[in-house]
Amino acid sequence: MEAIEIVEGLAGFAGRGAGTDAERRAATWLAAELSRERRDATIETFWCRPNWALAHALHGALALVGSLVSLASPIAGVAILAVALVSILADSLTGLSVGRRLTREHASQNVVISATPAAEDEKPMRLVLTANYDAGRAGLVYRDAFRRPAASLRRATKAAPGWLAWLAIATAWLLAIAIVRLTGHTSGAIGALQLPPTVGVLLGAALLLDLGTAHWSPAAADNATGVAVAAALADALEATPPQHLAVELVITGAGDGDGTGLRRYLGSRRHGRSPGNTVVLGIAACADPEPHWWVSDGPLIPLRYARTLRDLAERLAAEEPYLDLRPHRGRGTTPALPARAAGIPAITLGTLDRRGLCARSHQPTDTPTAIDGDALEAELQFALLMIDAVDAAVGELQAGRIPTSA
């Protein structure tokens, strides 16, 4: 299939949010279409609680309750705020928390295809190409009035934490004030210090609640285009296999927002494959004019992607100036982040606009009619060059000519 046909086909499954019937139908369609020219596709079902926005809205509500309760009972306030803070951190690190347990459980699916012949499965390194096919919700927080100032702030403060870190910081601030109240300090200054984080938590919880209950976007750009480019990469690598890489295509469900699909895929293979023998290349949205590679990513504390892969991307940017490749410091969750969090060498590639945003992402206007075919081609070219560079680096590693650290 042509890349744009995949985009249009996925966008045709209206409301394909994580764990929905539409998402499962999209997985079945993808498996049928992508396996026609390759080896058989495997659909891997898993159960999850994918509504991360509603889970964190509940954490914010719990922190708000703790802040108010601490005025009358500091002991109870400390206990509630401690639970809220631990839940925020645990959810970010493991996907398990009090708020997550209070959301509904759904079945989602990954589509897994080997893009190299069985005889090549013993190659020294396995390359996992991944993108998520589920749609995100079109909440208020994704409107340009919110996104553009946030992007400007991110560019101005490169060391700033992710959005979830601000919720954690506000909750920790309230917890510290509750502990101070526990020691008997109840002055007006304490109340004044308690007000800003309480207001911040209230606004954050309201935005997260709106997002957790919003309608699904068409998700043509973010991330049907990523799926299309990942599939095109698998086609190209099946026709001309890398010398040192066995290639696997993993199109994940429940990936928008917290990468549950890839996390489950990696977890199911934890005991059967060494992380040191796997490289993950995530493909984010590819609908904007400027190809980028992600230097770091993460909604809590941003994690830097593998140094070796970042160095390869920088080298390509210098060697291929016509592609206008650029680095990007993300503060969300792109397709390769769960692999990076698991200690696997990984990097995400995608395209962004001049503000460092994916245009129309999580908006009702994210439809196939707005997709730029040239952006898909540019990202495909960048990704193929990146894979060639990784393949060459693995060959040098096998020959003992480069260090093993990633």
Of the listed ranges 217-221, 365-369, 399-403, the least confidently predicted one is: 399-403
Range 378-385 average pLDDT: 96
CA distance 403 to 297: 25
CB within 8 A of 333, min separation 6: which ones?
Answer: 257, 258, 259, 297, 298, 299
State whether the Cα torsion 248-217-54-157 is positive or negative.
positive
CA distance 158 to 16: 34
Last residue within a domain, chosen from 197, 213, 229: 213
Q: At 281, list the tokens.
A: 């290349």
Q: Is the pLDDT of residue 201 over 90?
A: yes
Q: Are residues 197 and 76 in the same domain?
A: yes
Range 372-400 average pLDDT: 90
3-class state of residue 344 by DSSP: coil
DSSP 41: P
Residue pair 91/109 in contact by the 8 Å Cβ criterion: no
Number of domain units in the chain:
2
Compare 204 and 355 and report the one with higher pLDDT: 204
DSSP string, 223-254: IIIHHHHHHHHHHHHHHS--SSEEEEEEEESS
Residue pair 313/390 in contact by the 8 Å Cβ criterion: no
Q: At 176, list the tokens.
A: 């510290």
Residue listed under structure tokens 């601000």: 166
Q: Are residues 176 and 271 in the same domain?
A: no
Q: Are residues 335 and 379 in the same domain?
A: yes
Q: With respect to residue 406, please indicate whether it lies within any of the assigned structural domains.
A: no
Q: Are residues 386 and 244 in the same domain?
A: yes
Q: With respect to residue 160, please indicate whether it lies within any of the assigned structural domains.
A: yes
Share of the chain above pLDDT 70, in %: 94
266-281 tens-digit pLDDT: 998 874 455 568 999 9
- Confidence category of residue 403, pLDDT binned at 50, 70, 90: very low
Q: What is the pTM of this model?
A: 0.92
pLDDT for 187 equals 83
Q: At 300, list the tokens.
A: 């809590």
DSSP 94: H
Q: Is the pLDDT of residue 197 over 80?
A: yes
Q: Are residues 271 and 199 in the same domain?
A: no
Last residue within a domain, chosen from 213, 240, 259: 213
Residue pair 296/165 in contact by the 8 Å Cβ criterion: no
Q: Are residues 91 and 158 in the same domain?
A: yes
Specify which residues 114 forms β-bridges with. Answer: 248
Q: With respect to residue 181, please indicate whether it lies within any of the assigned structural domains.
A: yes
pLDDT for 118 equals 54
For 126, list phi and psi in degrees, rounded to 5. Answer: -110, 130
Q: With respect to residue 405, please indicate whether it lies within any of the assigned structural domains.
A: no
Residue pair 321/116 in contact by the 8 Å Cβ criterion: no
Q: With respect to residue 83, please indicate whether it lies within any of the assigned structural domains.
A: yes
Q: Residue 103's closest CA among 45, 61, 55?
A: 55
Q: Is the pLDDT of residue 12 over 80?
A: yes
Q: Are residues 109 and 190 in the same domain?
A: no
Q: With respect to residue 387, please indicate whether it lies within any of the assigned structural domains.
A: yes
Q: Is the pLDDT of residue 117 over 80?
A: no
Last residue within a domain, chosen from 213, 236, 255: 213
Angle between helices 163-182 and 74-94 (to 10 degrees): 160
Specify which residues 283 forms β-bridges with. Answer: 349
Range 61-87 average pLDDT: 97
CATH number at residue 256: 3.40.630.10
Q: Are residues 287 and 167 in the same domain?
A: no
Angle between helices 52-72 and 74-94 (to 10 degrees): 160
pLDDT for 405 equals 44
Q: Are residues 34 and 61 in the same domain?
A: no
314-343 tens-digit pLDDT: 999 999 999 999 999 999 999 999 999 999
Provide the H-helix boundaries in 247-372.
Answer: 260-268, 307-319, 337-341
Element spanning 290, H or E: strand 290-297
Q: Residue 347's closest CA among 403, 303, 391, 299?
A: 303
Instruction: List the domain range (segments joined by +) for residue 313.
Output: 3-49+105-138+216-398
Q: At 9, list the tokens.
A: 């086909």
Q: With respect to residue 295, please indicate whether it lies within any of the assigned structural domains.
A: yes
Q: Are residues 224 and 236 in the same domain?
A: yes
Q: Are residues 91 and 40 in the same domain?
A: no
**CA 224 from centre of chain:** 14
Range 371-385 average pLDDT: 93
Q: Are residues 387 and 339 in the same domain?
A: yes
289-316 tens-digit pLDDT: 899 999 999 999 899 999 999 999 999 9
Share of the chain above pLDDT 90, in %: 77
Q: What is the mean pLDDT of the chain?
A: 91
Q: At 154, list the tokens.
A: 């991110």
CB within 8 A of 279, min separation 6: which ones?
Answer: 125, 126, 127, 128, 245, 306, 309, 344, 345, 346, 390
| Other Cβ atoms within 10 Å of 322 Cβ, number | 7
Q: With respect to residue 134, please indicate whether it lies within any of the assigned structural domains.
A: yes
